[in-house]
Structure 1
Amino acid sequence: MSAGHRLDPADWDTFEAELHRIASACVDRLRAARDLPWRAPPDDMADRVAIRGEGAGTGALFDRILTDIVPYATGNTHPRFFGWVHGTGTATGVAAEMVAATMNANAGGRDQGAAHVERAVIDWLHGVAGWDGGSGLMTTGTSQATILALGCARMRAFPDVRETGIAGLPEIRVYIAEGGHSCVKKALEIMGHGARAVTRIPAPGGRMDVGALRAAIARDRAEGRHPLAVVGTVGSVNLGTFDDIAALADLAEAEGLWLHCDAAFGFWTRLAEAPWRDLSTGIERAHSIATDFHKWMAVPYAAGAVLIRDAALHRATYRERPEYLAAGGAGLAGGDWWATDYGIELSRGFAALKVWATVEGLGQAALGAQITDNCRQAARMGELAEASEYLDLAAPVVSNLCVIHPRAGDADDLAAALQLSGQAVFSTTRVAGRSCLRAAIVNHRTTDADVALAVRALEAEVAGAVRRGAAAK
C-alpha cells in the first residue's frame, strides 16, 4: 500500500460489509429503544475504552464500539426518560449524520452546498419565529448561541468594543428571571463582564415580574450602570413556564434595551396546537433568539441555532477576513455567505444537514403533533399526581414539564431507585423549598401508557418509603 492510501481501508468490500454490520446494529438499537433504559457503566469502563493505539482493524474496532460503548449511553432514547431536557434522536438523523461525515464538509465558509443548506435552515427558523428575514447561525447549542447573541447586543451598544475591549466600558447589566438558565451567567463570565453583570428578577409563578424589572433598570441607571439586555425565558428548565415576552418587548423598546429570548426547548411550542403555540407570543419582536434542535426536535446531538434580527450588526460583530480567507469571485473561495462571518468558528461541521433532513423527511406537521402530544402527556401526568394518595403536584403544568412532590421519602433517593431499576428517569429540583421530582417530556417515543407506568412506579417507591417510615417508629 502506498503512503497516500494507508489511512483508507485495504479492502473496501470488507469495510463495506463491516459498515453494514454496524449500521444494522444501530437500527436494531433504535428499533429496540423501548427495551433499552439507562445502564450504569461497568466498574472497568475506563479500562475498556483506554486507547491502545495499535490499529485493531475495522472488525475488532466495531466489536469494541458495540460491546464496550454503545450499551452505556445516557438512556435518553428510552420512552420513559424524563430527566432533564434530553432529546431522543431519530433514524432520519442517524442517516443524515453518516452522510455529513462522508462529505466531511468544513461548513465555516466557501462556495459549497453546506452553506446553502444552513441558510435554508435559518430561513425556515425565521418563519417559525414570525420574522420577516434576519440573520442567524447553526451552533452547538443554546449556550454557544447565547454568547453570540449577547455579543451582538454589546456591539450595538458599544460599536468600538472589538477594537478597544471592555476595560473602558461601564458596568453592564443583563436581566433574567429567577430560575432562568445559567448559560446567561456563563456567557457574561466568558465575555469578561463577570457574574455580577447578571441581575435576577423575581418570578412569582415562574414568570418574570415586569414591574420589578422596570424598577431594577431604573435603579441601575441611577447608580451609573448600563442596562444592556433583557433575557426572556421561553420555557424554564424547572417548571416549563414562559415569561410574558410581549410585555418584555414593550419594556425593552421603551428602555432601548436588547431583547434576547432563551428558547432552548420552548421555541418549538410554536409548532404545536393551541393553547401551547401561544405561550411564546411576542417572540417575533425579539432582537435575538437561541434554541436547540437536539431537545424537542429530536435531532441528534449537537445542534442549536442563534437568530439575530439585524443581519448587518451580526456580520459586523464577528466578521474577520485575513488574507488567507479573502473572498473570491469564481471558484471555491466564492459564495456570498460564509458562516465564519457570523460566529467564532471557522472549522465547523455540517450540522445543518440533520436538521434539514428532519424537517424535510418527517414534516413540520408531524413534528408539531409530537410536541402537542408531549404537552398533553405532561398535563396527564399532573392529573395523575393530583389524584394520587402518595404524590402532590408541586406547580401547575404549563407546557411539557411536570414537577411532583412525594409525600414521603427523599426525592433524590426515589429518582435514583427508579433510574437503577430501569422503570423511569426523573431528575430532581426544588419548588417552594421542597425537594421534588421533575419530568421533562420531550420524547417522541413516549406514550400515555408510559406516563401512567412511570407515575405508578413512583407511587410504589413512595409507598415503600411510607412503610419503612411506619416500621421505624
Structure 2
Amino acid sequence: MTEGHRIDPVDWDAFEADLHDITHRCVERLRAARDTPWIAPPADMADRVKITGAGQATGPLFDRVFTDIVPHATGNTHPRFYGWVHGTGTATGVAAEMVAATMNANMGGRDQGGAYVERAVIDWLHGVAGWPDGSGLMTSGTSQATILALSCARMRAFPQVRAKGLAGLPEMRVYIAKGGHSCVKKALEVMGHGADATHQVAAPNGVMDVEALRAAIAQDRAAGLHPLVVVGTVGSVNLGTYDDLNAVADVARDEDLWLHCDAAFGFWSRLADAPWRDLSAGIEQADSVAMDFHKWMAVPYAAGAVLIRDEDLHLKTFRERPEYLAAGGAGLAGGAWWATDYGLELSRGFTALKVWATVEGIGTKALGAQITDNCKQAAYMGELAEASDVLDLAAPVVSNLCVIRPARGKATDLAARLQIDGDAVFSTTMVEGVSCLRAAIVNHRTTRADVVASVAALGAAVRAVD
C-alpha cells in the first residue's frame, strides 16, 4: 500500500459489495427481531473476540461479527423484552447512524450543518416541554445530562465555583423522592459533593411527599446546610410514577431552589394521549430537564439531552475558549452556536442526526400512538396479573411499568428462567421489601398477544416452583 492509501479500502468496489451484504444482514436482523431473543454468550466468547491485530478483509471480518457477536446482543430488540428500560431502536435510526458515521463530523463546534440539526432538536424539545425558549445540549444519556444540569444549578448559587472550586462552599443538599434514579447521587459524587449530599424524601406510593420535602429543607437549613436543588421524578424506574411537579415547583419557588426534572423515559408521555400526557404537568416550570431518546423514543443507543432554561447561565457554567478555539467571523471557525460551550466535551459524535431522522421520518403522531399503546399494554398486563391465581399486582400501574409479585419462588430465579428459555425478559425490583418482577414496556414491537404470552409464561414458571 502506498502513502495515503494505508487505511482506505484498496478495492472500493469490493468494499461496496461487502457493505451491501452487511446492510442486507442488518435489515434481516431487524426483520427477524421477533425471532431473536437474548442468547447467553458462549463460554469461549472472550477467545472469539480477542484482538490479534493481524488485519482482515471486510467480508470475513463481518462474517465473524454476525456469527460471534450479533447473536449474543442484549435482546432488547425482541418484543417480549421488558427488562430495565431498554429501548428497541428503529430502522430509520440504523440508516441515520450509517450516514453520521460516513460524515464523521466532530460536533463540538465550528460552522457546519450538523450544528443546525442539533439546535433544531433542542428547539423541538423546548416545545414538547412547554417552554417558549431556552438552552440545551445533546448528551449520551440522562446520567451525563444530570451532571450538566446540577452544575448549572451550582453555578447559579455559587458563581465563584469555576475559579475556586469547592473551597469555602457550604455543604449542599439535593432533594429527590426515595427510589429516584441513582444518577443524581452519582452526579453529586462526580461533582465533589459526595453521596451524602443526596436527601431522599419520603415517597408513599412512589410519589414525593411535598410536605416531607418542605420539612427536610427546613431541617437542613437549621443544620447549616445549603439546599440547592429539588429533583422532580418524571417516570420512576421502579414503578413508573410521576411526582406532582406543580406542587414540587411551588416548593422550589418558595425556597429559591433549582427545579430539575429527571425525565429519562417519562418525558415522552407528553406525546401520548390523555390521561398519560398529563402525568408530567408542571414540567414547563422546571429550570432543567434530562431525558433519553434511546428508551421510549426507540432511537438507537446512545442518545439523550438536557434542557437548561437560562442560556446565559448555561454558557457561564461551561464556556471555555482558549486561543486554539477562538471564534471567527468566517470560515469553519465561525458559527453562532458551538456545542462545546454548553457542556464538557469538545469531541462529540453526530447524535442529533438519528434523533432528527426518527422524529421527522416517523412523525410525532405515530411516536405518540406507540407510547400510548405501551401504557395500555402495561395496564393490561396488570389486569392479567390480578386475574392470575399465582400472580398479583405489586403496585398500581400508572404509566408503562407493571410490577408483579409472584405467589412463590424468588423473583430473580423466575426472571432468569424466563430469560434463559427465551420466553420474556423481566427485570426485578423491591416493593415494600418484597422482590418482584418488573416490566417496563417501551418496545414498539410489543403487542397485546406478547403481553398475554409473557404473563402466561411467568405464571407457568411460578407453578413449576417446588
Q: What is the deviation of 1:2? A: 1.9
* Structure 1: gaps (5+ residues): 469-473
2:136, 2:339 → 1: CA distance? 9
Distance in 2, matches of 1:171 and 1:429, equals 32
1:91 aligned partner: 91
Q: Distance in 2 between matches of 1:428 and 1:254?
A: 38
Of all paired residues, the percent bearing the same amino acid is 78
Shift, 1:167, TM fit? 1.8
Is the counterpart of residue 242 in structure 1 residue 246 in structure 2? no
- Residue of structure 1 equivalent to 2:411: 411
What CA deviation, in whole Å up to 9, does each residue of 1:271-303 have, x standing for no partner? Answer: 000000000000000000000000000000000
Code of the aligned partner of 2:94: V
- Corresponding position: 1:382 with 2:386: no
* Deviation at residue 372 of structure 1 after TM alignment: 0.1
The equivalent of 1:55 in structure 2 is 55
- Corresponding residue of 1:112: 112
Gaps of 5+ in 2: none
Q: Distance in 2 between matches of 1:28 and 1:332?
A: 40
Corresponding residue number in structure 2 for 1:363: 363
Q: How far 1:146 sits from its partner (Å)?
A: 0.1
CA distance in 2, matches of 1:233, 1:67: 41
**TM score, norm. by length of structure 2:** 1.00
Structure-2 residue corresponding to 1:227: 227
Could you tell me which amino acid in structure 1 is paired with residue 172 of structure 2? I
CA offset digits 1:298-345 (Å, max 9, x no partner) = 000000000000000001100000000000001000000000000000
Q: Report the alpha carbon displacement of residue 220 of structure 1 after superposing the two structures with TM.
A: 0.8
CA distance in 2, matches of 1:70, 1:20: 17
SS of residue in 2 equivalent to 1:373: helix
Partner of 2:445: 445
Structure 1 residue 348 corresponds to structure 2 residue 348: yes
Superposition deviation, residue 129 in structure 1: 0.1
Report 1:49-198 matches (<5 A). 49-198=49-198
Aligned amino acid, residue 151 of structure 1: S
Displacement, 1:425? 0.3
Partner of residue 459, structure 1: 459
Q: Distance in 1 between matches of 2:125 and 2:340?
A: 19
What is the identity, as a one-letter code, of the residue corresponding to 1:56? Q
The count of aligned residue pairs is 466
Give the equivalent residue in structure 2 for 1:471. Answer: none
1:124-155 C-alpha deviation (Å, 9 max, x unpaired): 00000000000000000000000000000000
The corresponding residue for 2:393 is 393
Q: CA deviation at 1:39?
A: 0.3
Measured in 1, the distance between the counterparts of 2:171 and 2:190 equals 15
1:313 equivalenced with 2:324 (yes/no): no
1:3 is displaced (CA, Å) by: 1.3
Aligned twin of 1:212: 212
> Which amino acid is 2:449 matched to?
A
1:251 paired residue number: 251
Structure 1 equivalent of residue 304 of structure 2 = 304
Paired with 2:69 and 2:327, the residues of 1 have a C-alpha distance of 43
Whole-angstrom CA distance in 1 between matches of 2:309 and 2:203: 27
TM-aligned CA deviation for residue 164 of structure 1: 0.7
TM-score (norm 1): 0.98
Provide Cα deviations, 1:225-254, integer angstroms capped at 9, x if missing partner: 100000000000000000000001011001
Aligned to 1:15: 15
AA matched with 1:66: F
1:267 counterpart residue number: 267
C-alpha distance in 2, partners of 1:462/1:224? 52
Match of 2:337, SS state, is coil
Q: How many Å separate the matches in 2 of 1:128 and 1:393?
A: 32
Partner of 1:31: 31
Map of 1:332 onto structure 2: 332
